[in-house]
Amino acid sequence: MSKTGYFTHRDCSKHEMGPGHPECPERLDAIADHLLVTGVADVLAHYEAPEAALADIERAHDHGHVAALRGMSERLRQEQQAGGPDYARIDPDTALNAHTWQAALRAAGAALAATDAVIAGEIDNAFCAVRPPGHHACRDKAMGFCFFNNIAVAARHAMQRHQMQRVAVVDFDVHHGNGTEDILAGDPRALMVGIFQHPLYPYSGVQSPAPNMLNLPVPAYTRGMAIRELIERLWLPRLEAFQPEMIFVSAGFDGHREDDMGQLGLSEPDYAWITRHIKDIAHRHARGRIVSCLEGGYAMGPLARSVAAHLRVLADI
């Protein structure tokens, strides 16, 4: 059995973007409840996510972006004390509330702490049950429900703080991880492989990606077996050749066939299959070191079951 860390924090549930928004606090509740009922929670090593240091976040993001988000958050709190609005909007889908800054620091902090714990050998691998998600956050802007790019912050930390020379990012969210690509493109120490529905928000990932990016856009209604075949034929040989020292996973479960955010046909066995192959590569080349962070997944039941399937493989249960 692998020792799997589970990183989260109650602050991550205080961020919300308005009634009816799909990226809601109930996502974390659904995951936690399902893991408790199924007994998966009992075999995990539980950690409270710390706040990320701004210097660590700025390994992946421009100082101006970080300062702007902090300033928006402070202004919003001041305005609320005077009876002002509940939210500060960044785009039609993305907004801050009074707790977003703190939640974003905890989400990035979870990824950083998990990275440190895995590299130290304290745990074998880790899953960060955090929000806001991160993979759309670019070097200099927030978008698509994302403020800081948790996975990119952690990957940069592994390369710069821990001097890793080969770090892989695997992204299986239904949407292209444009922010992660923006931050890591052209860095020979990083390899990113992603599979996503196209065309779909953010309508990117198909035009001349950098040599260290392997993007697999697939059409709507692509089923699990077809995605498995693409991964076997294209992802796995590239990851094997790269021989990563550590693997980071943008674990989005909105490609599930019951999730209306996209139109892919994945199911829990597909997520388990993908995780098993990631884990096999990590064992061969990276001493088993994996840090996975929650991205999408908006249908509560499928999300919770898919996370459990992912964790069962990570923890060998």
Q: Active-site residue numbers?
A: 136
Q: What is the DSSP string of 250-298?
A: EE--TTBTT-TTS--BB-HHHHHHHHHHHHHHHHHHSTT-EEEEE----
SS3 13: helix
User: Which residues, at least 6 apart from 45, have a Cβ–Cβ distance to it below 8 Å?
Assistant: 3, 4, 5, 6, 123
**Two structure tokens written together for 19:** 């009634």
Q: What is the dihedral of CA 86, 91, 96, 100, to 10 degrees?
A: 160
Give 124's DSSP letter: S
Helices 300-315 and 26-38: crossing angle in degrees, nearest 10, is: 50
The closest alpha carbon to 112, from 72, 42, 60, belongs to: 60
Task: Name the helix (H) or strand (E) containing 196.
Answer: strand 190-197
The closest alpha carbon to 192, from 183, 201, 203, belongs to: 183
CB 193 within 8 A of CB 227: no
